[in-house]
């Protein structure tokens, strides 16, 4: 009965039911498709929702998607959970494919857990979240899900806005666009500065995105440019049980020296041509570059990491409908990348442990480069044996090769070749650098699905899929504690999903049940080695609903219950953990919104976000109690509508909570959540 109690409380923005069911989405086939005909679970955060939320952190926007939790770190840092626990450490950042206009933000093998801050989500057309293994159009990393940020389409309007909030928060946005018969364009720029509600914290961030749509004879071209920059003063964990409740500790910063600087640049151009009424072809070449440097304040020694990667690739797909009831896609993806990583420690390790002081030396720990090449072929067939049944089958093969070049002395010595002296004896240091080597990975993924149209706007779907995730470069070549070689295999995940979506009166809904089994997940064992061998199970139910109570009042909700457990006893710890909940995996996750829009000039929203309790360690001995937050948003147009004033209140009841909790090195650790915050934004709309 508790589940139904949650549903009874939820409410949200007005969405016309039929339009909700027929939303066009891109992520499934990397091309427009009706969400009603989609075989799989997808959540969409529309442009209207993005404008309403006006998120200062991506977690605020994606709270509207069931089965999705973006765990907020400090500043713009975050960790992701999509039909999964929040994953940290080795094996964490390659579980999800983060994309912009269906092109991954980073090359295969060069992921970063925080990489969503490299997309202009603040001015996007929408954000689509595919839950579960991605389709065969996506390769490595689309294991638990895909987050696809769709850039804004050209339009004949412009706006400029200025926003202010607590702790010296300021943000400005500019949007310009124009449409034409042959060329249309859209420009988005935003800049934010935040003093931070914790001591010696805050960030400055700038983002720009540009889209150009052109017609050249029979070719339609859509070109995009995206660039981001982040300079952040990072606050570390506060420690101690319930430290997030303490009025002094929750605003303290134990690591005022911590920082993160990151920049990214991406250019892509999709060229599409209709070959005949039944077929078309599309090519999308792209280039990317990113660089980042940050202090690893959360580790003994607090070494600094500098990493960068450059890459270029091509997506090609041929689509044909040889029969009116069948569509075939044949595609190929190619990519080349070059990445560099340097880790160095300026000072001796400051620790109460004599072993750590001796085994973690100052100087360079790693200095290497990795060149990679990826090639993939895929085919997908969708056909209708009857008017009410849609079947889908797809297969993908991907080949990935890494060429690793160590620029330091191989082995586990200091950077000058000396061994560490540990308890009076010369021994290997913590950090191990393999010899130059080449690694190859060959992977196959598949999907099979069916959708039945039962009439009365009700559709039932079933999907079976297997996805893979090749080891990341850092897992292969950033070794520790005497491990000379990380002989890693690709992770695999098999998924079964059953769902139903449809219309009921003035509302729409989607209900999904899933069961997933993951093999060979990569982790760092109790000896500090990067190894395979982990098995986990993931099962749950997700529900999203929208309902128009009246012409002016409506609600929506996104709710999930999931169980994420260890399915064997990997050497993470010394005690058995088979059957335990995976740490940082809340079973209950809900959000709901009640929207009141009495006329076209005014709208308001009350949002409830609930996160259930979760364990902080594999032994399930320490836990966080979860939290419940209330947010309010109001927008009104002034005069003829050229001026718009918005107010947002987050954490309306001023709850004390943790954005993220964990237990490590014998301590409870928390990223504390912000107190009640009021943001005011004024916007001017005009025509070019």
pLDDT digits (tens, 9 = 90+) for 325-339: 999 999 999 999 999
Secondary structure (DSSP) of 229-269: EEEEE----EESTTGGG-TTGGG--S-TT-EEEEEEEEEEE
**Whole-number pLDDT of residue 66:** 97
Question: Of how many residues is the chain composed?
Answer: 688
* Lowest pLDDT segment from 122-136, 480-494, 579-593: 480-494
Average pLDDT value for residue range 529-553: 92
Q: How far apart are CA 499 and CA 609, in angstroms?
A: 24
Identify which of 540, 516, 490 has the alpha carbon closest to the alpha carbon of residue 144. Answer: 516
Count the domains in the chain.
1
* pLDDT tens profile 185-240: 999 999 999 999 999 999 999 999 999 999 999 999 999 999 999 999 999 999 99
Contact between 59 and 70 (Cβ < 8 Å): yes
Strand runs labelled E in 28-67: 33-34, 41-46
- Is the confidence at residue 263, as pLDDT, over 90? yes
- pLDDT of 273 above 50: yes
In the chain, % of residues over pLDDT 70: 96
Supply the pLDDT for residue 4. 31
User: What mean pLDDT comes out for the span 551-558?
Assistant: 96
Structure confidence at residue 532 as a pLDDT band (50, 70, 90)? confident
The domain in which residue 281 lies consists of 2-686
Quick one: average pLDDT of 124-149?
Answer: 95
Residue 296 confidence (pLDDT) above 60: yes
Which residues are registered as beta bridge partners of 298?
A: none
Tally of helices (H runs) and strands (E runs) in the chain:
6, 40
What one-character DSSP code corresponds to residue 488?
P
Query: Average model confidence (pLDDT) for the chain?
Result: 92
Q: What CATH number is associated with residue 627?
A: 2.40.170.20
Task: Tell me the average pLDDT across 495-502.
Answer: 97
CB 492 within 8 A of CB 520: yes
The whole-angstrom separation of Cα 76 and Cα 261 is: 11
Is residue 551 packed enough to be buried (19+ CB in 10 Å), middle (13-18) or exposed (0-12)? exposed
Whole-angstrom distance, CA of residue 80 vs CA of residue 75: 15
Percent of the chain exceeding pLDDT 90 equals: 85
Residue 22: per-residue pLDDT:
65
Q: How many CB atoms lie within 10 A of CB 686?
A: 10
Q: pLDDT (tens digit, 9 = 90+) per residue, 28-45?
A: 999 999 989 999 999 999
């Amino acid at each position: 009965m508790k589940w139904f109690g949650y549903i009874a409380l939820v409410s949200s923005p007005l969405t016309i039911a039929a339009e909700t069911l027929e939303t066009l989405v891109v992520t499934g086939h990397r091309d427009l498709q009706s969400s009603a005909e989609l075989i799989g679970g997808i959540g969409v955060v529309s442009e209207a929702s993005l404008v309403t939320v006006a998120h200062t952190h991506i977690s605020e926007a994606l709270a509207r998607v069931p089965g999705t939790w973006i765990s907020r770190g400090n500043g713009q840092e975050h960790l992701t959970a999509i039909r999964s626990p929040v994953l940290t450490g080795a094996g964490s950042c390659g579980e999800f494919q983060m994309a912009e206009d269906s092109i991954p933000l980073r090359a295969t093998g060069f992921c970063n857990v925080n990489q969503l801050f490299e997309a202009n989500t603040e001015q996007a057309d929408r954000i689509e979240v595919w839950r579960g293994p991605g389709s065969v159009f996506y390769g490595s990393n689309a294991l638990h899900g895909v987050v696809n940020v769709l850039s804004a389409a050209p339009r004949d309007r412009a706006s400029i806005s200025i926003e202010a909030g607590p702790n010296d928060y300021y943000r400005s946005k500019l949007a310009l666009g124009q449409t034409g018969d042959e060329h249309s364009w859209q420009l988005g720029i935003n800049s934010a500065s935040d003093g931070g509600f914790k001591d010696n914290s805050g960030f400055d961030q700038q983002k720009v995105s540009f889209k150009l749509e052109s017609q050249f004879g029979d070719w339609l071209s859509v070109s995009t440019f995206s660039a981001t920059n982040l300079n952040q003063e990072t606050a570390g964990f506060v420690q101690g049980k319930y430290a997030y409740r303490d009025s002094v500790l929750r605003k303290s910063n134990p690591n005022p020296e911590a920082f993160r600087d990151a920049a990214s640049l991406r250019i892509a151009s999709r060229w599409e041509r209709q070959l005949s009424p039944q077929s078309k072809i599309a090519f999308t070449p792209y280039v990317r570059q990113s660089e980042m440097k940050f202090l690893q304040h959360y580790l003994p020694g607090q070494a600094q990491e500098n990493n960068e990667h450059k890459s270029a690739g091509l997506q090609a797909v041929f689509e044909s409908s040889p029969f009116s009831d069948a569509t075939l896609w044949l595609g190929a993806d190619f990519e080349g990348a070059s990445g560099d990583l340097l880790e160095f420690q300026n000072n001796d390790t400051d620790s109460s442990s004599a072993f750590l002081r001796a085994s973690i030396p100052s100087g360079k720990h790693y200095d290497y480069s990795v060149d990679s090449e990826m090639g993939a072929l895929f085919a997908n067939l969708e056909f209708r044996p009857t008017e009410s049944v849609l079947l889908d089958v797809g297969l993908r093969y991907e080949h990935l090769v890494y060429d690793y070049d160590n620029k330091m002395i191989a082995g586990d010595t200091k950077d000058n070749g000396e061994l560490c002296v540990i308890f009076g004896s010369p021994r290997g240091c913590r950090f191990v650098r393999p010899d130059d080597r080449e690694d190859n990975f060959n992977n196959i993924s598949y999907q099979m699905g069916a959708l039945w149209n039962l009439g009365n706007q009700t559709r039932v779907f079933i999907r079976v899929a297997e996805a893979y995730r090749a080891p990341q470069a850092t897992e292969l070549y950033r070794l520790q504690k005497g491990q000379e070689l990380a002989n890693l295999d690709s992770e695999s995940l098999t998924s079964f999903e059953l769902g139903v979506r449809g219309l009921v009166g003035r509302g729409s809904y989607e209900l999904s049940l899933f069961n997933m089994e993951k093999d060979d997940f990569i982790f760092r064992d109790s000896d500090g080695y990067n190894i395979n061998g982990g098995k986990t199970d993931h099962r749950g139910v997700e529900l999203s609903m929208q309902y128009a109570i009246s012409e002016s009042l409506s609600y929506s909700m996104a709710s999930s219950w999931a169980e994420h457990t260890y399915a064997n006893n990997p050497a993470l710890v010394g005690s058995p953990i088979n059957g335990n909940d995976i740490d940082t995996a809340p079973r209950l996750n809900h959000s709901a919104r009640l929207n009141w829009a009495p006329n076209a000039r005014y709208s308001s929203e009350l949002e409830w976000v609930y996160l259930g309790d979760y364990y902080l360690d594999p032994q399930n001995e320490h836990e966080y109690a979860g939290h419940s937050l209330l947010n309010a948003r109001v927008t009104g147009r002034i005069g003829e509508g050229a001026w718009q004033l918005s107010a947002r209140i987050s954490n309306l009841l001023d709850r004390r909570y943790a954005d993220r909790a964990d237990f490590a090195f014998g301590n409870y650790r928390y990223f504390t959540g912000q107190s009640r915050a009021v943001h005011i934004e004024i916007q001017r709309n005009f025509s070019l």
